[in-house]
Structure 1
Amino acid sequence: MTSDPREAGPAPYACRPADSRGRLYQEAESATRSAFQRDRDRIVHAGAFRKLQYKTQVFVYHEGDYYRTRLTHSLEVAQIARSLSRALGLNEDLAEALALAHDLGHTPFGHAGERALREAMRAHGGFDHNEQAFRVVTRLEARYAEFDGLNLTWETLEGLAKHNGPLDEPRPSLARFCERFDLELASHASAEAQVAALADDIAYNNHDIDDGLRAGLLELDELRAVPLVAEVLDEVERTYPDLERGRLIHETVRRLIGLMVDDLLTETRRRLAEARPDSAAALRALGRPVVAFSEDMRQKERTLRRLLFQRVYRHYKVNRMTQKAERVVRELFVLYLERPDCLPDAWQAAVARAEAGAAADPGGAAGQGRARVVADYIAGMTDRYALEAHEKLFDPYSRL
C-alpha cells in the first residue's frame, strides 16, 4: 500500500521555517504563523500584489474580462506549486510565497510594456522584471514602520533571486543587496523555488492555450500539430464525441496540466533518488536542478511554445495592441524623464533623493538616479492607470 503524499511529513531536503537564515532586519517571530507563512501573507497584502489584478499578460485589460491577468495567473501558479510541493514533501508555504511574488515586477501591458521599458532604460542600467520584483519586495513597498520593502526571509529572497538558476553576473542592485545579505547567488535555489519556477511554466503554457482559443487567435485543429496536445485532444474527443466547444477546451487543458504535473513529479523523484540529498543545503550544493520535466516532455513543451509564439503572441491582433502599449510606455518614460515635476509629489521626492545619492556616489549609482525612479513608477502602473495617464498628458482635450 503506497503512502498518501498529503499525509507524509516533510522530506529531508525541504526548507524548514525553524531553520530559516532569518531576515535582513531582525523581528520577533509570530506566535501563530511560521516565517514562510508570514512571507506569503506580506506578499498578499502588498500594494504591488493588488495591482496585478489590472496587469495583463497577452490581452490588455479592456479587451475582455474573461482573460487571465497577472493576478489570476499568480493564483494558478500558487495552486500548482502547492500541489507539487505537497506531493514531494516540500514546504508548501514557501513555494506558495514564491509563486505569488514571482510577477510583482511586471510592467503594465505584459511583455510589450517590459520591452518598451527595457529599451528606454538601456542607457540607464537596464530593466528586467525579475530584478524589479526583487526591488519591490526589498525597497519599493513602503508599508512598515521600521524598514523599506517586506523584509522577507532569506529563503524567499533567495528563491526570487535565482529561481531560474544560479546568477554568475547579477545585476548591480542585486549584487549590492547581497553585500548586506548574502543570497549565495552562485548556487541553485531550494527545491521549493525550483517548483515555483516550473509551476509558472505549466500555468502559462496551458492558460495561453485556453485564452488563445477563446479569443479566436488559435483553432483547435492547429493544436494537433503539437504531439502533446494532439494526444490529449484526441482522447477527449473519443471519450466525449459530442462535447460542446467550451467544455472540450477546458477538459483538454485540465488534462494537459495533469500530464505535465505527473511528468514533473516522476522525473523529479528519479533525480532525487539518484542524488539523495539529505538536507536543503545539500540539495542546493548539487550543482544541478532536481525539479525538472523529462527530456521527452521538454521537447514537447518547446513545440507547444513555438506554436503559441507564432499563433498567439505574434498574431496581428496582438501586434496591433502591443505596438500601442509600447508607445504608451515609451512616451510616458520620455515625458517623466524630461519633466519629473509631472510626477506625483512622493515620486518627485524620490527623484530628488536618487539624484542626491547619484551625485554623492557617481561610481556606484549607475542607473539609480532619475531614470530608475521613473522606471519604478511606470513599472508599478496598471494597464488602466497607464492608459489614463497617457491620455491626460498627451490628449489636449483630456481633463486633468
Structure 2
Amino acid sequence: MPDTAPYASKSDQSRGRLYGTGASPTRSEFQRDRDRIIHSTAFRRLQHKTQVFLAHEGRHFRNRLTHTLEVSQIARSIARALRLDEDLAEAVALSHDLGHTPFGHAGERALHRAMAPFGGFDHNLQALRVVTLLENRYAEHDGLNLTWETLEGILKHNGPLVDAAGTPVGRYLEEGLPAGLDAILTPGDLRLDTHASLEAQVAAVADDIAYNAHDIDDALRAGLVSLADFLDVPLAGPIVAEVLDLYPQVAPKRQTHEVQRRMITRAVEDVITTSAANIAAAGVASAEDVRLAGKALVTFSPVMARNEKGLKAFLFSRVYRHEAVMVPVRESEAVVERLFALYMESADMPGRWGEAGRAVHGAARARIVADFIAGMTDPYALDEHQRLFDARPDFR
C-alpha cells in the first residue's frame, strides 16, 4: 500500500482491541477488521435486507449488501486519492449498515417507535452491538473484536453525538442519545464529542454518493420516473441533458448507466478536490488533529452540497413517497410492529432469543426483542409473521 499522509490513521498506531490478539504476518490491523466484517453472519444477511425497493419487486434492485459494496468501492477510491488508509475506510464502509433492520428505513422507523418507551432504536448503535456483542463466532469472546478506530467510525462516521459540554447534537438533540450506548464494551472511550477519522468521514460521504446514483437507477428501473423528469433537478439535470444530447438513440438503460456513472465520477472528484483543500486549510498533521478540528473535513463543495440536497428532495417527493413505494412501506412497518408487540408479550422467539427473553421483562426484554428483529432478513421477518399470525402481507 502506498505511503499514507501524516493525517491518515495508522494501523500500527491503533488504540487496539478489547481482547488482545497476536500480530498478523500478512495483514494490517485494519485489514483484519475488514476481513472479520466480511466473514460475519450479519454481513451476509445484508443480501436479504431492503434498500429502497422490496425484493418481490425485482431481482435487479439494490439491497443492503449491494449498496454496501458500492459504498465500499467509492470509499476506497476517495481514500486512495487523499492518501488515507484505504483498509480502514473500507472496514467502516462495509460495517456502516450492519445495524439496519429488515425492510430498510421503514423497518427502522417502526422499531424506533416500538422502542420509544425503552430509549428508542438507532442503527449506528445497533451496528456497534452487532460487532461487539451479537456476533458470536469466536471461541474466546463475543463480537468481532474490532479495533478502536473501526468502532469509532461505525458510531461517529456521520459526526459527533455530543458537543464539548456533553449536550447531544444533530439528530440526537431532540431525542437524546440512544439507550444502551454506555453498555457497549470497547477498547477505550469512543469520545462522542469529536469527529471520527478522515477514513470514517470518507465512508459517510461515499454513502451519500452511492445512495443518489443507485436510487436514480432503481427508480428508473421501477418506472416511477423517466430521465426527462430529472432535467430540471439539481445535480442530475445537467448530466441527464448531456447524456441525452450525446446518446439520443441508445437504449434508455444505457442512457441511465451513463448518467449514473457520470454522477458518481463528478461527485467523487468534487469530494477529493474539496476535502484536500479543507485538510490543507485546517493544517492537520495527525489523525488526532483531525478529531479535534471541530468540523468535518471530508465534504462536498458548497455548490455540490446544495445541488445534492436538491436532488435528495426530488427523490424524496417523487420516489421515496411514491404510492408504489409507500404501499409496501406501510405493510412492512406493520409487520415489524406486530412482531415486536407479540414478542414483548410472550417472548415467543426461537432458540436462544426466546430463552433469553423469557428470563427478563420490561426494558431488558425490549432490547432482546429489538436485537432479534433488527437481525432479521426481509424473508425471515415474513416467515415469522406467517408463523405467528398465520398471514403473509401482500406488498403489491
Given the alignment of the two structures, is residue 93 of structure 1 paired with residue 93 of structure 2, yes or no?
no
Question: What's the TM-score once normalised by structure 2's chain length?
Answer: 0.93
Question: Counterparts in 2 of 1:248-397, with a 5 A limit?
Answer: 248-340=255-347, 342-352=348-358, 355=360, 367=363, 369-395=364-390
| Cα separation, partners in 2 of 1:150 and 1:396, compared to 1, 3 Å | closer
- Cα displacement (A) at 1:173: 2.1
Residue 243 of structure 2 aligns with an amino acid whose one-letter code is V
- CA 1:270 to 1:180, structure 2 compared with 1: closer, same or farther past 3 Å? closer
Deviation of 1:264 after TM superposition, in Å, equals: 0.6
Question: Quick one: distance in 1 between partners of 2:320 and 2:295?
Answer: 31
Deviation at 1:61, TM superposition (A): 1.3
Instruction: Report the alpha carbon displacement of residue 386 of structure 1 after superposing the two structures with TM.
Output: 0.6
> Contact conserved, 2:8 with 2:198, CA < 8 A, in 1?
yes
Is structure 2 residue 205 aligned with structure 1 residue 211? Answer: no
Instruction: Give 1:178 shift.
Output: 6.7
Q: Which amino acid aligns with 2:223?
A: G
Q: 1:177 maps to which residue?
A: 184
Structure 2: how far apart are the matches of 1:202 and 1:44? 22
In 1, the alpha carbon distance for the partners of 2:220 and 2:91 equals 30
Range with greater deviation from structure 2 (174-183 or 118-127):
174-183
CA distance in 2, matches of 1:70, 1:370: 27
How many Å separate the matches in 1 of 2:150 and 2:230? 37
Please give the TM-score of this superposition, normalised by the length of structure 1.
0.92
Structure 1, gaps ≥5 residues long: 1-6, 359-365
Indicate the SS of the match to 2:231: helix
Residue 189 of structure 1 corresponds to which residue in structure 2? 196
Deviation at 1:161, TM superposition (A): 1.1
| Distance across 1 between alignment mates of 2:115 and 2:184 | 20
The more displaced of 218-227 and 102-111 is: 218-227
Task: State the alpha-carbon separation in 2 of the partners of residues 8 and 131 from structure 1.
Answer: 33
1:179–1:140 Cα change, 3 Å:
closer
- Report Cα offsets for 1:25-66 as digits up to 9, x if no partner: 111121211100110011001111000000011111121100
For 1:163, the aligned partner's letter is H
Q: What is the CA-CA distance between 1:208 and the residue it aligns to? A: 0.3
Q: Distance in 2 between matches of 1:14 and 1:185?
A: 20
Distance 1:176 1:153 in 2: 17
Report the Cα distance in structure 1 between the residues aligned to 2:387 and 2:293, rounded to whole angstroms: 54
2:113 aligned with 1:116: no
**In percent, how many aligned pairs have the same letter?**
56
Is 1:236 the counterpart of 2:218 in the alignment?
Answer: no
CA distance in 2 between partners of 1:281 and 1:122 (Å): 35
Contact 2:17/2:186 (<8 A) preserved: no
- Which 10-residue stretch deviates more, 92-101 or 218-227? 218-227
Of 261-270 and 237-246, more deviation after overlay is shown by 237-246
2:6 matched residue in structure 1: 12
How far the C-alpha of 1:303 sits from its partner, in A, is: 0.6
Secondary structure of the equivalent of 1:52?
helix
Deviation at 1:176, TM superposition (A): 3.4
Please report how far the alpha carbon of residue 345 of structure 1 lies from its aligned counterpart in structure 2 after TM superposition. 2.2
Task: Name segments (4+ residues, structure 1) moved above 4 Å.
Answer: none
Q: 1:261 to 1:396 in 2, by over 3 A?
A: closer
Aligned-partner Cα distance in 2 for 1:244–1:135: 46
Number of residue equivalences:
379
220-229 or 145-154, which deviates more: 220-229
CA contact (8 A) 2:17 2:187 kept: no
Equivalent residue for 2:173? Answer: none
Partner SS for 1:254: helix
Per the TM alignment, residue 301 of structure 1 is displaced from its structure 2 partner at its CA by: 0.5
CA RMSD of aligned residues (A): 1.6
How big is each residue's C-alpha offset from its partner over 1:145-184, in whole Å with a ceiling of 9 and x where there is no partner? Answer: 1111111000000111111111114434223337872111
Q: Does the alignment pair 1:54 with 2:48?
A: yes
